[in-house]
Amino acid sequence: MPSLTIGIAVLVFFRTFSFPLGLPTVVLSHVSISISYVVLILMGRIDGFSSNLQEASVDLGASWLQSIKDIILPLLMPAIIAGWVFSFMLSWNEFIITYFLIGNNVTIPVYIFSQLRFGLSPKVNVISVLVTGFTIVMIVLFLLAGKTFKKIRKLKQN
């Protein structure tokens, strides 16, 4: 659905129940939009491994909680990280919904939008450089983490 339709629907929903607009409403709406994507990513990963691994660890003496911590979570970690990154980027892109629901508070995208109406200012340029730098740093960190995980996986196989 287009963001405008979702933004209006969520605004009407929160206004119907007299829920005050602000950061909690923005977080709730962004989580409700992102959760379906995260679940799909996690389900794809869960379908990829066998439940026999957890059963084997329990048979070998691990408790159910230890089995989840030592077997399931490491297997799900790439999907959890991918879901987090995807939901963060999706949330960052949902400016219209944030604009409807933020109330008197200000987020970075709303601040940039409000400053652009008056022309380009040095503040907007600095914020844009910082956001771009943050994005580049995150991409480099994820690439390095991926290479590190591949090396660790190769060492474990040998």
**Domain ranges across the chain:** 3-106, 120-158
pLDDT digit string, tens, across residues 105-123: 888 888 888 887 877 778 8
Closest CA to 31 of 106, 101, 136, 78: 101
Q: CA-CA distance, 127 to 54, in Å (whole number)?
A: 47
**CB contact set of 76 (below 8 Å; sequence gap of 6+):** 42, 45, 46
d(CA 15, CA 83): 30
Would you say 19 and 25 are in contact if contact means Cβ atoms under 8 Å apart?
A: yes
74-107: pLDDT as tens digits: 888 888 988 988 888 888 878 888 888 888 888 8
- CB count within 10 Å of CB 71 equals 19
19-54 per-position pLDDT tens digit: 898 888 989 999 988 999 999 999 988 887 777 877
The stretches of the chain forming alpha helices (DSSP H) are 3-16, 23-47, 52-59, 64-67, 73-93, 95-101, 108-116, 122-157
Cα separation, 16 vs 154, in Å, equals 56
